[in-house]
Amino acid sequence: MAGTRDRYGFDEFLPEIPRYLKEKRYIAIFPRPLQTHLFRFHHASLHLPRPSSRRKHEIQHLVRLFAEAAGRARKAGFDAVEVHGAHGYLLNQFTSPLSNRRTDGYGGSFEGRIRFPLEIVAEVRKEVGSDSLVLYRLGASDGEGRGVTIGESQTFAQRLVRAGVNIVDVSGGLIGEAPEGMTGQGYFLPLAEKIKQAVDAPVIGVGGITDSAFADQAIREGRVDLVAVGRALLADPEWALSARRTLEPS
């Protein structure tokens, strides 16, 4: 999502964001025009206008905005940046054939659908230099036969690594971060295992992980190289400290 005239990419407008959101002065961006209810799947409370597609020069502008955002993170002292390409957000909408029906160089074939995120990764890498980590959150499966497949995602992950990604963070695609019917801890680990087989780079596994012993076992068994924990940290800010105490040899 970008603000009016894509203004949220610039530091001087950051204080305006709360007011613009309150006044609903923003534009939803999709690879192509879609029915608004598809966007409400993840943003049910926003009631957005009909999403608009982007022309080529506008896509190139967005590529630059991603890179500038990464540059600001580096200047702020962060050691790594992560490009979000999962959960039905913009980059995932380009990679999925369910949402990308473009007929130009940014759609159609698999190569066309992955072009936009690859251009972003390459530009981000140039912006942050060789001594910063670049992660990519990969929507590895849409959970729908006509959507992104794990085979495509394995190839895409290889291309991401060649473009400059250091770590691949594997999650869901258009099915979101917590799909219905997926229960238990580590429900995206099977996808991460498949990606790990395809790339020569560390892979992160996610999916409702709350137990440190489960996380430790997934890494020790070689299923993934790292795990990401989200909601458990929100529930317990000292989760990592507790995990360390639990897992350290007595």
Query: Which segments of the chain have a pLDDT < 70?
Result: 1-52, 250
**Quick check: 134 and 80 in contact, CB under 8 A?**
yes
Instruction: Report the first-to-last Cα separation within the chain, whole angstroms.
Output: 49
pLDDT at residue number 39: 39
203 bridge partner residues: 168
| Whole-number Cα distances in Å, 181 to 178, 184, 249 | 9, 10, 36
Best CA proximity match to 170, nearest among 181, 154, 159: 154
Catalytic residue (one of 89, 106, 136, 187): 89
Pairing of strands 226-227, 203-205: parallel
- Residue 181 has a pLDDT of 74
pLDDT value for 40:
37
pTM of the predicted model, to two decimals? 0.81
Residue range 186-218, pLDDT digits in tens = 999 999 999 999 999 999 999 999 999 999 999
Q: Check: CB of residue 192 under 8 Å from CB of residue 203.
A: yes
DSSP 29: B
Q: Which pLDDT value is given to residue 232?
A: 94
Which residue segments constitute the domains of the chain, with CATH numbers given?
1-53 (no CATH), 54-247 (3.20.20.70)
Question: What is the token pair recorded at 94?
Answer: 């380009």
Nearest-angstrom CA–CA distance, 36 and 187: 29
Q: Tokens standing for 207?
A: 């999916």
3-state secondary structure (DSSP) of residue 216:
helix
pLDDT number for residue 168: 98
Q: In the chain, which ranges are continuous DSSP H helix?
A: 17-23, 36-40, 56-75, 90-95, 110-128, 150-163, 189-198, 212-220, 231-235, 239-247
What's the pLDDT score for residue 48? 41
Task: Write the pLDDT tens digit of every residue in 51-92.
Answer: 467 888 999 999 999 999 999 999 999 999 999 999 989 999
Beta bridge mates, 85: 138
- Tell me what pLDDT residue 12 has: 56
pLDDT of residue 53: 76
Active site residue 89: yes
